[in-house]
Structure 1
Amino acid sequence: MVSLRVMCVAAVCAALAACAEVGPDYKVPPQALINAPAANGAFVSGASVATNAPLPDHWWRLYDDPILNRLIEKALASNVDLRAAQANLERSDALLAAARTAREPSAVADASTYYTQQSAEAVLSHVQPPRHEVYNMGITISYDLDLFGGIRRGIEAASANREAVVAARDLVRVNVAAQTARAYSDLCNAGNQLDILQQQIAVQQKRLALTRQMFAHGRVPSFTQDRDQGAIENSRAQLAPLEARKLNAAFRLATLMGQPPEAYDESLLACHTPLALKTLIPTGDARAMLSRRPDIRAAERQLAAATAEIGVQTAALYPDIKIGASIGSTGAAASFLTPLTNRFAIGPMVSWDLHRNAIRDRVEAARAESRVSLAHFDSTVLTALRETETSLDNYGAALDRLQRLESARDAARSVNDRTSELWRGGKVGGLEALDAQRTWLAAENAVAVAQADVNNDQISTFLALGGGWQ
């Protein structure tokens, strides 16, 4: 009869185990901004500087610079922020594994022994009770049927949180790649501007020497020497900030690769050539960008976790049913493991929190948290769209400015070449030739500054597009 009852209880529990989880099943809400048509079409900006081709994972290879490729690969392998992100992911893996163990049977073993004497007066006796050694040992096993899916929803939430941490790790990779490219770009652009500035100073020194000769022959007033000397000092004043910018960029590269600043690579300081992108930026469309950006994925997974948490809290409104069994032995040591001390038990166990108001409050709090997560998800989508459009717009403007300055530079160079020919033929004076050369170098410097802005806007665009992870 006992075995029949046990079998009936087990059959009923198995049937109840087929109950569905309480709480909402997660899917991206239809009203989420990521589903809006305007968030899935072509970008408004950048039509002249970008293509609809998909962005490659390793976008920095579009610059075709082996040194940049090596620096980013080293940074992705050694960056301390990435190490922290990876450790955080391992922590999430452990938390997910812990949540999954709730679906496994639990087992508890205990054993104790003690020498005891009961209190006679506690039982209104005037005879001293006997003293004897008592022991207790046993194993208890239980399995939560999770009829209403509280454990399953908890696993669902933990899994979504783990995927959000994966996305956060990928976001760190995106930023490390962009920061490394920007630091290397700053270093090379500072070297380029230093080269041009040194040429400008050399021309100014030649002009000062010629002015002194002319003053010695009474052909110019004395203040012209002071004017030329002031121009030289003004140019020299720009050397130190550029040198500092270049060295600081090398420091940034060292720390991005997990090294102290003093361990920077001195060979990098020899770079004097700006990064050159030979193709239009491949951007794809807004849909591809939103699916690629790790922060969007992290926000969506946080929304999924918050939705699953509603089910976790809702399950507390219903009884928690477990199947349990225990076997052991308890009694006097003299009767150790005899029929008089051996024991066993098997059957269902039910627990039910009847404080309904408190549980319902927690359910409402979970629903509110889900709405917060949806608002954060929408905000992240809007931010991603704004950042990408702004970056493309800034890049287009910077590229147009660079092209116009290059045209002005080319015109100044042409004037300088013709003036140099006239000077060599004795048709113009040395001052005119030096002025033409100075004008050309000033135009070269303007181009160098604009090139630095273009590189910075390119990298900002790649960062906004979310490239840099696989």
Structure 2
Amino acid sequence: MTKPVPFAGAPRAALLTAALLGASLLSACSMAPTYERPAAPVAAAFPSDSAGAASRTSVPLPLAANARTAVDTGWRDYFTDQRLQSLIAASLENNRDLRTAVLRIEEARALYNVQSADRLPNVNASFGETRAKTPAFLSSTGQTTIGKRYDIGASVSAFELDFFGRVKSLNDAALASYLATEEARSAAQIALVSQVAQAYYTERAYAEQYALAQQTYEARARTYKLTQQRAEVGASSRLDLRSNETLMETARASALTLARQRAQAENALTLLVGQPPASAASGAMPTDAQLDALNALPEGLPSDLLTRRPDIRSAEQRLKSASANIGAARAAFFPRISLTAAIGSSSPSLHGLFDSGSGSWSFAPQLTLPIFDAGRNSANLTLSEVRKNIAVADYEKTIQTAFREVADALAARDYLGEQVNAQRAVQEAQADRLKLLQLRFDNGVASTLDVLDAQRELFSAQQSLVQARLLRTTTAIDLYRALGGGLR
């Protein structure tokens, strides 16, 4: 005779449990407000200084008609210096801030997975043994007894049937937070690429200025020695000697200052890269033609920034998360239905767990309706709405900051090219002035002070030209970053 299966007749509670679970998953709705992207609080176009442009002495180079946007231009295509490329690649591998941003993504993903697990029931299998001693004076037989019980089964504990979308809203908020963290990592990478490029060219500018200062010092040292020899035989005055000495020591002080600044710039670059550079410092500042190419980026419209810049997309995801949390706060005003159910077998002996008639089950739905909570739910809803308003303000401020960064870079692009040309003209004029004064001095027409003043002005013009070219380079990098380039 075939032994009957213990759970052949599934109890109605199990069927009801499955029906409620399916209804919960299918009917869960969100009470969060419908998301609408706030209007960008900026002008429809970037500002242009037409009045200033009309007063310029030359017309800036037009942008190429087929110029690629910043987001379509990878950093390897934008920065052609091979050493800079290797430094950027190393920084993307070793920079600790970027590494932390990547780990933040893993953290946000884990938190999202934890939250999304609440949308499905947790099914647990259990096996237990219970032993209990009953004293003789309590026993029905008048003798001390030891009872045994074995239980095995599966259970669902306190699963919330999400009819009002509370769990779904929390899941949506966790998902948006995860996406915001991922966008923040992209923004950190773009910022890192631009920071490495700026630090590299800053170090190169200090190196170029130091070389000029060292050359100037060596030339002035030779002049000082000749003046000293002339003073010893009475051919030069003590005033000429001291003036030459002042210029020589000024150049020496400038060289030492620039050496210190260059060393500090190298340290800053090492920190960004995350490891000591693999090769010695090399490379030079971009040429004028290269700078023209770097600046040839179409700016597009401010609305393009909403899709180009990861920091704006991250702020929008944070806004979506705050909006979803409002849905969870609203759902807290409605009844919360939770379900606990179990099915299994119980027996006083281990070998009898699967005997016929040993089946057991329990079904315990629970409905909780908030009646009095001292204003807790109302305060949580107010808090969620305030946090959403904060997220809106943060989103709008992020857009305004991006708009300003692009506008500043465009304004600098309009003028810095001419500023570099003007500074180069100053240097050339000072160099020619020094040559003419040197000739006049050799012929006894000009004084030593005139020559020394021309040398000082030429040195200052040389240093200013390097600074102007560095400023134009960093502006091109700022524009590339502000327009959303540097991710690929």
Deviation at residue 2 of structure 1 after TM alignment = 8.9
Deviation at residue 358 of structure 1 after TM alignment = 2.6
Relative to structure 1, is the Cα distance of residues 172 and 412 closer, same or farther in structure 2, using a 3 angstrom cutoff?
A: same
Segment drifting more, 153-162 vs 311-320: 311-320
Match in the other structure for 1:251: 267
Does the 8 A contact of 2:108 with 2:178 survive in 1?
Answer: yes
1:444 counterpart (462, 467, 473): 462
SS in 2 for 1:233: helix
1:21 counterpart (17, 29, 49): 29
Does the 8 A contact of 1:45 with 1:392 survive in 2?
Answer: no
Deviation at residue 354 of structure 1 after TM alignment = 1.9
Q: Give yes or no for the alignment of 1:311 onto 2:327.
A: yes
Deviation at residue 82 of structure 1 after TM alignment = 1.3
Q: How many Å separate the matches in 2 of 1:222 and 1:184?
A: 45
Q: Give yes or no for the alignment of 1:404 onto 2:422.
A: yes
SS in 2 for 1:267: coil
Deviation at residue 419 of structure 1 after TM alignment = 6.2
Match runs of 1:69-468 below 5 Å: 69-118=85-134, 127-128=142-143, 130-141=145-156, 144-259=160-275, 263-265=276-278, 267-268=280-281, 270-273=282-285, 276-279=290-293, 280-282=295-297, 283-321=299-337, 325-333=341-349, 336-339=353-356, 341-345=358-362, 349-355=365-371, 357-394=375-412, 396-416=414-434, 439-468=457-486
Match in the other structure for 2:46: 42
Relative to structure 1, is the Cα distance of residues 131 and 400 closer, same or farther in structure 2, using a 3 angstrom cutoff?
A: same
Deviation at residue 227 of structure 1 after TM alignment = 1.8
Segment drifting more, 177-186 vs 333-342: 333-342
Does the 8 A contact of 1:26 with 1:308 survive in 2?
Answer: no
Segment drifting more, 18-27 vs 288-297: 18-27
Q: How many Å separate the matches in 1 of 2:341 and 2:27?
A: 23
Two-structure CA RMSD over aligned residues (Å): 3.6
Relative to structure 1, is the Cα distance of residues 33 and 403 closer, same or farther in structure 2, using a 3 angstrom cutoff?
A: farther
SS in 1 for 2:215: helix
Give the letter for the 1:360 counterpart.
S
Q: How many Å separate the matches in 1 of 2:137 and 2:369?
A: 39
Deviation at residue 418 of structure 1 after TM alignment = 5.7
TM-score, structure 1 as length reference: 0.84
Segment drifting more, 198-207 vs 410-419: 410-419
Relative to structure 1, is the Cα distance of residues 265 and 429 closer, same or farther in structure 2, using a 3 angstrom cutoff?
A: farther
The count of aligned residue pairs is 459
Relative to structure 1, is the Cα distance of residues 234 and 413 closer, same or farther in structure 2, using a 3 angstrom cutoff?
A: closer
Measured against aligned partners, the alpha-carbon deviations of 1:416-443 in whole angstroms (never above 9, x if no partner) come to: 556678889x697895777656644432
TM-score, structure 2 as length reference: 0.81
SS in 2 for 1:318: coil
Deviation at residue 214 of structure 1 after TM alignment = 3.9
Q: How many Å separate the matches in 2 of 1:49 and 1:254?
A: 35
Deviation at residue 187 of structure 1 after TM alignment = 1.0
Deviation at residue 325 of structure 1 after TM alignment = 4.6
Relative to structure 1, is the Cα distance of residues 248 and 362 closer, same or farther in structure 2, using a 3 angstrom cutoff?
A: same
Does the 8 A contact of 1:26 with 1:304 survive in 2?
Answer: no
Relative to structure 1, is the Cα distance of residues 107 and 10 closer, same or farther in structure 2, using a 3 angstrom cutoff?
A: closer
Give the letter for the 1:187 counterpart.
E
Q: How many Å separate the matches in 2 of 1:45 and 1:121?
A: 102
Does the 8 A contact of 2:32 with 2:325 survive in 1?
Answer: no
Does the 8 A contact of 1:207 with 1:434 survive in 2?
Answer: no
Does the 8 A contact of 1:22 with 1:314 survive in 2?
Answer: no
Identity of aligned residues (%): 23
Segment drifting more, 129-138 vs 159-168: 129-138
Measured against aligned partners, the alpha-carbon deviations of 1:411-466 in whole angstroms (never above 9, x if no partner) come to: 22344556678889x69789577765664443222211222333333333333334
Deviation at residue 131 of structure 1 after TM alignment = 1.8
- Which 5+ residue runs of structure 2 have no aligned equivalent? 1-8, 54-59
Does the 8 A contact of 2:305 with 2:483 survive in 1?
Answer: yes
Give the letter for the 1:138 counterpart.
G
Give the letter for the 1:42 counterpart.
F
Give the letter for the 2:422 counterpart.
R
SS in 2 for 1:102: helix
Give the letter for the 2:211 counterpart.
D
Deviation at residue 343 of structure 1 after TM alignment = 0.8
Does the 8 A contact of 1:186 with 1:452 survive in 2?
Answer: yes
Does the 8 A contact of 1:60 with 1:181 survive in 2?
Answer: no
Give the letter for the 2:426 counterpart.
A
Measured against aligned partners, the alpha-carbon deviations of 1:83-120 in whole angstroms (never above 9, x if no partner) come to: 11111111212222222222333202222213212367
